[in-house]
Structure 1
Amino acid sequence: MRMADVDFDTPLFTDHPPGWQTPSDIVSGFNLAWALELKERMRISSSQPHAEGVRQLLPAEYRFDTLGRLITLNPLASIAQFGRNPLIRLSSLCGAWQLFDLMNQTWRIKPGDFQQFSDLLAFVTGGRERPSLYRDLSANISKCLLAVRVRRAYSEQDELDLAEEWFLTGDEELTFTDNRGSGSLLFHFSKMHQVPLPLFSHEFVETVWATARVTVDRLGPDRVIAMHSDRIESLTDLLERGAEKATKAQQEMPWQSFQWFDYWPGWR
């Protein structure tokens, strides 16, 4: 399978309303949601929008992860169940690829430049211990997908990695079970460097949000909001209805039950 075979703008989720039917639509929704939340955080604390305590001061539509519930699976779901859900797979892949295209406007990867390749691999996959793209955000899936894109740009390869093919197809034969019994994918960072990654349900939501946050940080929230201004009403409706459902459930349910409560409000 090659890059030319991939189209994130084809309506695949035809049970969704217009504006939410393609993988690109879903990723844009997450980007816009984070941009709106970041603006609200900056209004509350312009110098420290991520400071402890800011979240509690946010309006209800930003305190609950309504949009994340759209791609949330049971925490005990298997990799086979992930494979049968194109929404979570394609949202993760599309977001990572769009971020790569955005970052490569600056990186301008030079095929065969090993020093640049090594530096970018470290930057993409690193955490808080060194300068890195995702800093302290949880984004294992997106880090691996970006690393593969960096490797393919460096080596001028259009053929997709087998791990990328899984995100497109969900083919269970592309996965394996590691020695701990976890369903995993094997990402090829280089000819000699293969990285196995166990997949867990929570990581899909975390990686989509982390990718959105880095994208918005790169573009700026005002630009992202302007780019998707026609979608604000649709998104706000979802967030407000989800927050209303979550607020009511939180008041009526014990925490142990509420943390697994599905407050996705549905389309209308």
Structure 2
Amino acid sequence: MDEPAQPKPFIVQKRSNHGTSNPIVARLSVQTLELLQWADLAEEAKGKVFRVYHDDLQRSLLRCYDAVTRLQQARDTTLREVAAAVDQGARSFPFVIGLEDEVNTFLYEAKLYLRDALQVLNVFFGTSFSEASRLTRWNDKGKEKDGAVISWAADTFGPDAEFTRMLRSEETWMADLIKFRNAVEHLDSAGVVVLENYRATSHGTLEPSWRREGKDARQETYLYPDLQVFLENLLTFAEDLLVHAILQRPISPHVGFELIPPEQRSPDCAVRVRTVLIGLPPLPGT
């Protein structure tokens, strides 16, 4: 008698110099592999979702991470050089080399990341989202556009469903990020991104900042903190998207998820979300 065919195992393949000690790798690969076990999907579909996280999302977010790391290193280098020059009696001023190129790399990869994340919805729910702009509801005239993910979620799960509320809560920063990238891609129609390196003012030295001018104008804010916030938001959004998708299609109604407290996360593989069983009937005799 032939033995039943066994499902093919997912293969976790190293694609960069970053290992599981990097939270991006731990949470987009190892954690995704664990969470997908609880999804009511065919093995082929699980494989598609895993490849989105392990290949596409992880690659783009690590490139964002590397761009931020290089910017931090360039900042530290210029500050050390200025301090050394001042100690020797020279006049010097900090300047971050490669600022514009690294920011453009970050924005490009971040928009790819958001676009690719939509494939998770397509696999789980049979949708056909393909553009990152679908994650925001409003067009350039302030009117709600057709085909927005939030509108779809409200129609599918309900306007007050946790899934819909999650997407709505993420909309502001995603719209901001997409507008920055659009301004880089389409200068004539989406405004202009203005990057300021270190500047001397009457109030002292100002750190690098950015803003948008023209269409979709945005006030100036400090660049480095913004990039860190975007980096963390991108990572948690992919996790939340997967968790909420699984909760809509779990293998059991008793499947739930919880956040692991930061102090309990392993430095070797700092996953953030774990599975819990909820609503189980009490054992006999208890």
- TM-score range normalised by the length of the shorter chain: 0.3 to 0.5
Which structure is richer in relative contact order (CA contacts within 8 A, separation 6 or more)? 1
Greater Cα radius of gyration, structure 1 or 2: 2
| TM-score normalised by structure 2 residue count | 0.34
Whose strand fraction is larger, Structure 1's or Structure 2's? 2
